[in-house]
C-alpha cells in the first residue's frame, strides 16, 4: 500500500458530527441559528454567463477592506478561515520549527501545524481560562515561527487583550502572530488596528459565524501588503467559488442584519448565564457566540437528555482543563427559552445512588463466604448467617474486615486486624481474582439499569476497595451506566454511616433531589444524615430493626420507577 507522509499518518482526523442534524436545534457548531440576511437568501437565479466564468475577487476585497478598515491589497480570500490556517502554516513553518498553540483551542491549528512538520508547543490556558501571556513569552525561542491566538478562543470563549498581543508581537519581528478572529462580530475586539505597527500580525476572519454562510466556506486573511502577496502565491487562485463571493458581497451590504443578530446573541448569552447562575451551575463568561458550561458529573446525562429533546450541544470534555464541560451555541431568545425549559427539567432530575454489596451484587457466596471461612480459619468453628446479619444490622460495621474482627472478638478470639484482612483477601480475591469474588452476580439487569440511566443520574457509594469494585463492575459491563463510583479509598476514614461520601456526590452532581438505595442500617443512616431519601432493598424478609420500619422498601428494582415517581 502506498504510504502518505509521516505527518499525516500521525494526525488525528477532524471528524465533525454532522449526521442527522437536519431536524435538530443545532447548538453544537457555533453556527448562525437564523441563517444569512434576506439579501443573501434572495440570491437564487444567476445568469449562466456568470456561472461559466471564473470569479472576480476585486469587488469583494474592496467591500471587505471597507468593513475591516484596511486596504484591498491586505486581503487574502480563503475557502473558510480553515484555508487561512493551512496557508499560514505552509508559508511560514519549515519542518522542525516551532508553533506555539495556547491550549485548548481549535483542532485544525494542531492538524495543519503537524502537517507542516512543525514541533507543536502546547501551552495551557490559565486555570481560570485566561490567556497565558507570561508563559507564552517565556517559551518563545529562535525556532518559534508562529504563535496562534484564537481571539475569542474556541472552545473557551476567552478574550485576549490587544496589550497582550502587542507584547508577543514585540518579542521578534520574525515571529508570525496568527490571530483567528472568527468570532470578532460578537467580541468587537480586533488586532487589525495593530497591523501598521506590527507587520508580523496576520488575522483570520470568516463569514461562517455571524454572517450565517458556514455552508459556503468563505473567509479572509488580513496581512501586511508584502506578506499578503507572498501568501497569494501559495494559494489556489480560485479556491473560493462564485456563489460564495456573491453571497459574502451581499452579506456585507446588509451589516445592519449582522449587527442586530450579534447584539441579540450577546443579550441571550447573558440570559442563559443568569439561568445557570440561579441553579448554581458553573459556566465561563464568553466573548463569542457560545458559552462553556461545567455540568460536573451530570455532563453526559445532560448531553444525552438534550439529544432526546432534539437539541445538539458540543462535548468538549476531552480537552485539557475542560473536564465535564459542554459548549452551547447561543441562539435566538425563542431557541434559548426552549433550551432553558428542557435544561430546567434535566437539572432537577433526581440523583440515584446505589450501594454495591447485597444491593447491586449478590455477595452471599463471596464476601459472606469469606467472613464465614475467615472466622472458621481462626476458631475452627462455624458461624451462622443470622449472627452475621444481626451484627450488620447494628449499623456500625460497613466494612467486612472490621465485621469479621468483631465476630471473632465476640467469640473470644482477639486476632490482629492485619492477619484477619490477609486471610479474608486470600479467600475473597484469590490469585488474579480467582477467589470467591468469581461467585458474585448482579441482582440488577442491564435492561433495568439502561432504563434508569435514561431517567436519572446514577452513582455508586460503596465501602469496597476500588480495585475490587472496578473489577466486578467491568466484568459485567455495568460501569458504563454510572457517572461516579465512590469507593473505600475515597472516603476513608469517613466511612458509612458518615455521610461524607454522599455529601460529596450531592455537590459534584449539584443535585437538589437524591435517593440512596442500600440494604443495611449504615446505608439508611448515611442517607438520613445527608438529608436524602433512603430506599431499602430487601430480597428476603428478615426481622427489621426500628430504623428500617418507616423506610421505603423494594424487593425488585423495577419498583424504583414507581417509588421515585
Q: For the chain, give every domain's residue range.
A: 38-253, 257-348, 352-358+440-564, 366-439
For residues 194, 195, 200 and 205, what is the CA-based torsion angle, rounded to 10 degrees? 100
Q: What is the largest CA-CA distance in the chain?
A: 103
Cβ partners under 8 Å of residue 453, min gap 6: 301, 481
- Are the C-beta atoms of residues 463 and 500 closer than 8 Å to each other? no
Please state which CATH number belongs to domain 257-348. Answer: 3.90.1150.10
Q: Does domain 38-253 have CATH number 3.40.640.10?
A: yes
Same fold, 38-253 and 352-358+440-564: no
Per-residue HEC secondary structure of 198-262 comes to: CCCEEEEEECCCCCCCHHHCCEEEECCHHHHHHHHHHCCCCCCCHHHHHHHHHHHCCHHHHHHHH
Q: List CB contacts of 63: < 8 A, sequence separation 6 or more.
A: 248, 249, 252, 253
The closest of 228, 212, 213 to 332, measured between CA atoms, is 212
Rounded-to-integer distance, Cα 75 and Cα 62, Å: 9
Q: Which cell is 34 given?
A: 437564523
CA distance 89 to 117: 9
Please name the residue that has the C-alpha cell 471587505. 64
Q: What angle separates helix 333-347 from helix 299-308, to the nearest 10 degrees?
A: 120
Phi, psi of 235 (to 5 degrees): -95, 155
Q: How far apart are CA 45 and CA 41, in angstroms?
A: 11
DSSP string for 250-296: HHHTTHHHHHHHHHHHHHHHHHHHHHHHHTT-EEE--SSSEEEEE-G
- Residue 454's H or E segment, with its range, is helix 446-455
Phi then psi for residue 394, to 5 deg, are: -70, -20
Beta strands 325-329 and 311-315, pairing class? antiparallel
Q: Give Cα 72 distance to the centre of its chain.
A: 41
Strands annotated E in 425-507: 441-442, 457-461, 484-486
Which residues face 293 on adjacent strands?
A: 283, 326
pLDDT of residue 393: 77
Q: Is 1 exposed, middle or buried (0-12, 13-18, 19+ CB in 10 A)?
A: exposed
Locus of grid cell 443578530 = 261
What cell numbers appear for 449 in the block? 439499569
The ranges of the chain with pLDDT < 70 are 17-19, 44-50, 395, 540-547
Q: Which residue is listed with cell 488525528?
A: 12
Please name which of 192, 222, 220, 189 lies closest in space to residue 206, comparing C-alpha atoms. 220
- What H or E segment, with its residue span, contains residue 157? none
> Residue 109 and residue 118: Cα distance in Å, rounded?
11
Provide the pLDDT for residue 392: 80
For residue 329, the surrounding DSSP H or E stretch is strand 325-329
Residues 459, 477: Cα–Cα separation, whole Å: 15
Alpha-helix runs per DSSP H in 326-366? 333-347
Compute the residue count for the chain: 565
Return d(Cα 271, Cα 269) in angstroms, integer.
Answer: 5
Beta strand residue intervals within 404-513, DSSP E: 441-442, 457-461, 484-486
| pTM of the full structure | 0.87
- 352-358+440-564: which CATH architecture? 3-Layer(aba) Sandwich (3.40)
Amino acid at each position: 500500500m502506498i504510504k502518505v507522509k509521516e505527518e499525516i499518518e500521525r494526525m488525528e482526523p477532524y471528524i465533525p458530527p454532522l449526521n442527522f442534524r437536519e431536524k435538530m436545534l443545532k447548538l453544537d457548531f457555533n453556527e448562525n441559528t437564523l441563517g444569512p440576511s434576506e439579501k443573501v437568501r434572495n440570491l437564487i437565479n444567476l445568469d449562466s454567463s456568470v456561472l461559466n466564468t471564473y470569479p472576480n475577487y476585486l469587488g469583494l476585497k474592496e467591500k471587505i477592506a471597507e468593513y475591516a478598515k484596511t486596504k484591498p491589497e491586505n486581503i487574502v480570500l480563503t475557502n473558510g478561515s480553515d484555508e487561512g490556517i493551512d496557508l499560514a502554516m505552509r508559508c511560514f513553518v519549515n519542518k522542525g520549527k516551532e508553533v506555539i498553540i495556547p491550549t485548548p483551542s481549535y483542532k485544525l491549528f494542531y492538524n495543519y501545524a503537524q502537517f507542516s512538520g512543525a514541533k507543536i508547543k502546547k501551552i495551557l490556558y490559565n486555570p481560570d481560562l485566561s490567556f497565558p501571556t507570561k508563559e507564552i513569552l517565556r517559551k518563545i525561542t529562535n525556532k518559534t515561527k508562529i504563535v496562534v491566538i484564537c481571539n475569542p478562543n474556541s472552545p473557551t470563549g476567552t478574550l485576549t487583550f490587544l496589550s497582550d498581543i502587542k507584547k508577543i508581537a514585540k518579542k521578534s519581528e520574525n515571529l508570525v502572530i496568527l490571530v483567528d478572529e472568527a468570532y470578532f462580530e460578537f467580541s468587537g475586539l480586533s488586532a487589525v488596528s495593530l497591523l501598521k505597527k506590527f507587520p508580523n500580525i496576520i488575522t483570520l476572519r470568516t463569514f461562517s459565524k455571524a454572517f450565517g454562510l458556514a455552508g459556503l466556506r468563505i473567509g479572509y486573511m488580513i496581512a501586511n501588503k508584502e506578506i499578503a502577496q507572498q501568501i497569494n502565491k501559495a494559494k489556489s487562485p480560485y479556491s473560493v467559488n462564485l456563489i460564495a463571493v456573491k453571497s459574502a458581497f451581499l452579506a456585507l451590504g446588509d451589516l445592519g442584519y449582522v449587527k442586530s443578530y450579534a447584539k441579540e446573541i450577546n443579550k441571550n448569552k447573558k440570559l442563559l448565564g443568569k439561568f445557570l447562575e440561579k441553579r448554581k451551575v458553573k459556566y465561563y463568561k464568553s466573548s463569542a457566540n457560545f458559552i462553556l458550561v461545567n455540568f460536573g458529573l451530570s455532563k453526559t446525562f445532560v448531553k444525552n437528555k438534550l439529544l432526546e429533546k432534539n437539541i445538539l450541544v458540543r462535548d468538549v470534555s476531552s480537552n485539557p482543563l475542560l473536564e465535564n464541560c459542554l459548549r452551547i451555541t447561543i441562539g435566538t431568545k425563542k431557541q434559548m427559552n426552549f433550551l432553558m425549559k428542557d435544561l430546567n427539567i434535566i437539572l432537577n432530575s433526581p440523583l440515584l445512588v446505589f450501594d454495591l454489596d447485597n444491593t447491586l451484587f449478590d455477595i452471599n457466596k463471596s464476601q459472606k463466604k469469606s467472613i464465614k471461612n475467615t472466622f472458621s480459619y481462626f476458631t475452627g468453628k462455624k458461624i451462622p448467617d443470622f449472627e452475621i446479619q444481626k451484627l450488620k444490622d447494628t449499623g456500625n460495621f460497613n466494612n467486612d474486615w472490621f465485621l469479621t474482627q468483631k465476630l471473632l472478638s465476640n467469640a473470644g478470639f482477639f486476632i490482629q486486624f492485619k492477619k484477619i484482612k490477609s486471610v479474608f483477601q486470600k479467600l475473597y480475591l484469590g490469585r488474579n481474582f480467582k477467589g470467591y469474588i468469581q461467585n458474585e452476580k448482579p441482582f440488577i439487569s442491564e435492561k433495568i439499569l439502561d432504563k434508569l440511566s435514561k431517567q436519572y443520574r446514577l452513582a455508586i457509594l460503596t465501602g469496597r476497595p476500588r480495585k475490587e469494585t472496578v473489577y466486578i463492575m467491568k466484568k459485567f459491563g455495568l460501569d458504563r451506566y454510572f457517572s461516579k463510583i465512590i469507593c473505600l479509598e475515597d472516603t476513608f476514614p469517613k466511612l458509612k454511616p458518615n455521610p461524607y461520601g454522599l455529601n460529596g456526590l450531592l455537590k459534584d452532581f449539584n443535585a437538589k433531589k437524591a435517593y440512596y438505595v442500600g440494604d443495611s442500617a449504615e446505608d439508611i443512616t448515611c442517607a438520613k444524615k445527608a438529608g436524602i431519601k433512603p430506599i431499602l432493598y430487601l430480597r428476603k424478609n428478615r426481622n427489621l430493626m426500628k430504623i428500617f420500619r418507616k423506610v421505603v422498601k423494594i424487593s425488585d428494582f423495577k419498583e424504583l420507577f414507581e417509588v421515585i415517581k
